[in-house]
Amino acid sequence: MHSGFDKIRRSNCTMYINRAFRSDSLEQALSGGEKELQRQFQLTRLGSSKFVRLYKFTLRFDGADRLVYFKQYLNRSAWDFIKHIFRASRARRAFEAALVLAERGFQTPIIIATGEFRYAFIGAENFLVTLGIEHAKPIYQFIASKQAELAKEQLRRERDLIRTFGRTVGKMHAAGIFHGDLRLGNVLAKQDNNGWRFFFLDNERTREFRRLPARLRLKNLVQVNMFRSDAIFNTDRMRFFKAYLEENSEIADNWKSWEAKLSLRTSLRLSRGKVVS
């Protein structure tokens, strides 16, 4: 069912482990819970939402030290706890969504493992372990400088980033995929010889539809559009939108209406003080 992953059970923990990263020491630590992982590896706590604990650490694979991220999902309320008796955990949903994205040609950080602890059929802890991506950083960090201070080549590079990202989001929507939280902080960017590549994070609410609902298309576009910086002008936003429309011909003929709805919805969100990055 999950090509490339082995399903294993240790005590109360069920895990899917990437076959390319099998490690007895890691699997033992993961099956022992967050405290056991902390005991065996030197974890560094990173900033995250209050319903997640995020750590990074190094793990040796194939003779090299690799950066690894461990994400522990926490229940957001008593209702959240009850819901997960009957539905997949957040880690499992993020895992499944990442596989769907990969099947459709989109990139996410490589998943090393995902796991759930269950006691008497009740879900408790759940986690996702991913491999770090060298030379990648949140997309907004590539566009954080004032354009007036950029050299010609840097400006061309930034505009190419914006266009490529617009086409990538456009392809995602054309494929019927809605990203659960398309803030620019949830997209890593990396440039190599093949151009810009994007890696999508926080996929637990990402879903695939036969036809993407208009309200979800608009929601993702608003999430992208809410990034505010003196390095971004309206011409850059239009540059993104035009590239996006190239992949979505079904709404391109009505682009002015979509632009108006996007502008209005973004203004309403900003007026509530929900600026996102």
Please state which of the ranges 65-69, 78-82, 136-140 shows the lowest mean pLDDT.
Answer: 78-82
The helix or strand, by DSSP H or E, that contains position 167, with its residue range, turns out to be: helix 152-174
- pTM metric for this prediction: 0.90
| Closest residue by Cα to residue 206 from 41, 86, 96, 42 | 96
- Say whether 269 sits in a helix, a strand or coil: helix
Characterise 202 by phi-psi region: left (phi > 0), alpha (psi -120 to 50), beta (else).
Answer: left
Q: What percent of the chain has pLDDT over 90?
A: 68
Check pLDDT > 80 for residue 193.
yes
* Residue 274 to residue 257: CA distance in whole angstroms: 24
Token pair, residue 227, equals: 């990034």
- Which pLDDT score is estimated for 270? 86
The helix or strand, by DSSP H or E, that contains position 191, with its residue range, turns out to be: strand 187-192
Better pLDDT: 149 or 188: 188
Question: Each residue of 149-185: pLDDT tens digit?
Answer: 667 778 888 899 999 999 999 999 999 999 999 999 9
Specify the CATH number of the domain 137-271.
1.10.510
Domain residue extents for the chain: 5-131, 137-271
Question: Each residue of 212-256: pLDDT tens digit?
Answer: 999 999 999 999 999 888 778 889 999 999 999 999 998 999 999
Question: Each residue of 95-142: pLDDT tens digit?
Answer: 999 999 999 999 999 999 999 987 755 556 899 999 999 999 999 998
* Residue 241 to residue 255: CA distance in whole angstroms: 9
User: Average per-residue pLDDT in the chain?
Assistant: 88
| Closest residue by Cα to residue 223 from 208, 242, 202 | 202
Better pLDDT: 198 or 86: 198
